[in-house]
């Protein structure tokens, strides 16, 4: 997995974090660490480009949720806490769509994971990059 970051000036500064490769148990903590790094550097509006992510396991769902919480200035649950992390996702999802992190172009298997876990209800999902950026 590789991660690239771009800054785009729109109505507000938008950070585009593009992930290349699978997100799974072997690397999801890298995704969370990058989210922490970006928040510490001042990012508050994040577009996660999933165009080049062919597979995302349940640990990837934890990573997406953790990044959304980080961008809101909240502390995510410890990803090593197992089911506690998934209970936190369910609680957050019940609060409706959050506005700090949006998803771009999830591939079919990733879309299915988002749908099965209902975490997709927590994010606005776009297929057009410019529309996604303009939505912040």
74 has a pLDDT exceeding 70: yes
Q: Specify the CATH superfamily of domain 2-134.
A: STAS domain (3.30.750.24)
Reported as a pLDDT band with limits 50, 70 and 90, residue 10 is very high
73: left (phi over 0), alpha (psi -120 to 50) or beta: left
CB-CB contact of 85 with 77 (8 Å) = yes
Q: Is the pLDDT of residue 92 over 90?
A: no
pTM value > 0.85: yes
Question: CA–CA separation, 4 vs 13, rounded Å?
Answer: 17
Question: CB within 8 A of 27, min separation 6: which ones?
Answer: 1, 21
Distance CA 46, CA 87 (A): 24
């Amino acid at each position: 997995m590789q991660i690239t970051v771009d800054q785009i000036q729109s109505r507000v500064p938008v950070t585009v974090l593009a992930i290349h490769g699978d997100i799974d148990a072997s690397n999801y903590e890298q995704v969370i660490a990058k989210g922490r790094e970006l928040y510490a550097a001042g990012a508050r509006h994040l577009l996660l480009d999933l165009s080049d992510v062919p597979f995302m396991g349940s640990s990837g769902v934890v990573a997406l949720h953790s990044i959304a919480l980080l961008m809101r200035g909240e502390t995510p649950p410890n990803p090593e806490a197992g089911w506690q992390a998934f209970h936190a996702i369910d609680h957050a999802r019940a609060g409706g769509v959050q506005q700090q992190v949006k998803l771009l172009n999830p591939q079919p298997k990733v879309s299915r994971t988002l749908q099965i876990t209902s975490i997709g209800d927590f994010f606005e999902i776009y297929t057009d990059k410019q529309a996604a950026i303009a939505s912040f």
